[in-house]
Amino acid sequence: MTVNLEVKGTLAKLLATEDIVVEHREVETAQFDVENRVLTLPIWDASNYVFDMLVGHEVSHALFTPNEDWTEKCKAPQQFVNVCEDVRVERLMKDKYLGIAKTFYRGYSELHAKDFFEVGDQDVNEFNLADKINLHAKIGAFLGVKFTPQEQEIVNVVENAKTFEDTLAAAEALYSFCQQAQPDNQTQEGTEGVELPMGDSEGVGSGVDGGEQHTGCGDRLCERTRRQACRIQ
C-alpha cells in the first residue's frame, strides 16, 4: 500500500494543534526541530502504521519538549536526556490521544520485525541500562527486557517523569548509574568512561551555539546503532 505523505503531513499538523512545517526528505529517521517547528519525515518504504507512529512520536516532541538550553541544569550527556525525554513524551502523547497507543504498538512491531534496532539475536539484558530503557520503552513487548532491582529504581524515575525538569533529573540519575556500572578498563573520550546509549547526539536540543534544536525519535528510532557504543532518533 502506497503511503500518502501529504496526508501524513496533515495528520501531524492536526495532532500538534498548530501550523507546524512538515517536510519529506531523504533522511535516516524522523526528526523535529524544536526551535523552528519543522517536522521532517523520511521517505521510507514502510507501512502506514510506521509513518503514523513516526508522526505520533515527533508530534509528542512538538507538544511537550520545550525549546530551551538545558545544559546548565543537567550534567548528563544529551543521549541520556534523549532516552528519558522519549519515554516521557510518548507517555504524554498516549494520555492525550488514547487511541494512539495501538498506533505506536503496530509501528514498533513492524520495525522490530525488520530488526530496525539491530538487536538481532543479542542478549539485550547485557546492554547498558540506558539502552535497555530505550528498547524497553519502544519494543519491550517483543524483547522481554529484564531489570535488576537496582535498575528498576532508575526505570521508575524515568517512567514517572511528568515535566521536562523531571526528565533532566531522570537523565542525571541514569547517567550516574551508568557511570558506577561502567568497567574501569572501558573508557570513551568526553564521557568520563561511560558507554553512551544507542544513538547520536541529534536529539533533544540544547540550544548551544544557537544551533537548530532537533529531536530524533528514539535515537534511530533515533537511529539504532550499538556499533562502537555510540555513533540510536
What is the model's pLDDT at position 16?
86
The model's pTM: 0.78
Neighbours of 84 (CB within 10 A): 34
Residue ranges of the chain whose pLDDT lies below 50: 185, 187-193, 199-202, 205-233
| DSSP characters over 9-26 | HHHHHHHHTS--EEEEES
200-224 pLDDT, tens digit each: 434 554 333 333 344 444 443 333 3
- Answer positive or negative: Cα dihedral of 155, 147, 128, 121: negative
The pairing of strands 38-42 and 21-25 is parallel
Q: Kind and range of the H or E element at 179?
A: helix 164-181
Phi, psi (deg, nearest 5) at residue 225: -145, 110
pLDDT digits (tens, 9 = 90+) for 138-181: 999 899 899 999 999 999 999 999 999 999 999 999 999 999 98
- The H-or-E segment that residue 216 falls in is strand 214-216
Q: How far apart are CA 7 and CA 24, in angstroms?
A: 12
